[in-house]
């Protein structure tokens, strides 16, 4: 599971800029509202505008000061966005049951050093599709997926990328819960708790829905591309499709004797 998830995740990285900057800007705005001195309620628009105007005309009135303020703003937006992106990778690992602490907990509870972490709903679904492919075709996804991806037609790649984007976007939405929770703890601004709870609930719901689409897209790519991979590797198909024994041979070729 780890191998093919990592490979799929590499394909969509360049499309994340727009999904990070806008939420980062919104978080900076929330920070400005929460940190407004003398605000009369959770959201005091007038006080926030006056405070920002005071910063603009006072401390940062000079050209160099305005440039410094702009740099600080950009760094705050970029820093919060990159932090959320880093947290999103942790969210995905947790959802998939790949977090190290979760695996250790499962091993302790099961009493077996061979136990694989299937303590999460998403992790169990991903494990099931990997097991179905192994039982049906005899191949290991960590070995065949990078090669299948190279041979896959554009249509198949687009479907997998779109499914991954939806799944990763749900994880990113969930990850934004952390900075909003931290904002609530540090400032006592209670709307941040509401925002964090909303992000958690909607992100988890969207993640469960998105992983179903990801599984379907990946399994379809395997079903339609495995025969071509076998032919490329020179593995004879006695049954006209990749039988379990053929899959074992494919594994041996790709594993290169390791």
> How many angstroms separate the first and last alpha carbons of the chain?
19
What value does the mean pLDDT take over residues 100-111?
A: 63
Question: Which residues touch 5 (CB under 8 Å, ≥6 apart)?
Answer: 92, 96, 126
Where are the chain's structural domains? 2-14+85-255
The model's pTM is 0.80
How does pLDDT run across 147-185, given as a tens digit for each residue? 998 999 999 988 998 899 899 999 999 999 999 999 999
What's the confidence (pLDDT) of residue 1? 55
Mean pLDDT of 52-80: 75
Q: How far apart are CA 258 and CA 251, in angstroms?
A: 11
| Average pLDDT of the residues in 231-239 | 88
How buried is residue 13: exposed, middle or buried, by Cβ count under 10 Å (0-12/13-18/19+)?
exposed
Q: CA-based diameter of the chain, in Å?
A: 80
């Amino acid at each position: 599971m780890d191998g093919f998830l990592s490979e799929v995740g590499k394909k969509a990285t360049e499309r994340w800029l727009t999904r990070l900057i806008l939420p980062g800007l919104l978080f900076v705005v929330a920070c400005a509202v929460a940190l407004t001195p003398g605000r009369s309620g959770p959201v005091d628009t007038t006080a926030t505008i006056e405070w920002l105007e005071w910063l603009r005309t006072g401390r940062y009135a000079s050209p160099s000061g305005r440039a410094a303020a702009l740099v600080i703003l950009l760094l705050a937006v970029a820093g919060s966005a990159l932090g959320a992106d880093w947290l999103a990778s942790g969210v995905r690992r947790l959802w998939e049951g790949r977090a190290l602490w979760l695996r250790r907990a499962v091993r302790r509870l099961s009493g077996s050093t061979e136990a694989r972490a299937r303590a999460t709903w998403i992790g169990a679904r991903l494990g099931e599709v990997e097991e179905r492919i192994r039982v049906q075709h005899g191949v290991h996804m960590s070995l065949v997926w990078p090669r299948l991806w190279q041979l896959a037609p554009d249509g198949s790649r687009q479907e997998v990328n779109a499914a991954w984007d939806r799944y990763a976007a749900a994880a990113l939405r969930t990850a934004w819960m952390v900075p909003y929770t931290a904002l609530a703890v540090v400032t006592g601004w209670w709307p941040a708790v509401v925002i964090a709870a909303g992000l958690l609930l909607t992100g988890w719901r969207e993640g469960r829905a998105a992983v179903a689409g990801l599984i379907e897209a990946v399994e379809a790519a395997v079903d339609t591309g495995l025969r071509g991979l076998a032919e490329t590797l020179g593995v004879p198909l006695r049954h006209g499709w990749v039988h379990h024994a053929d899959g074992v041979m494919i594994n041996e070729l790709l594993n290169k004797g390791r």
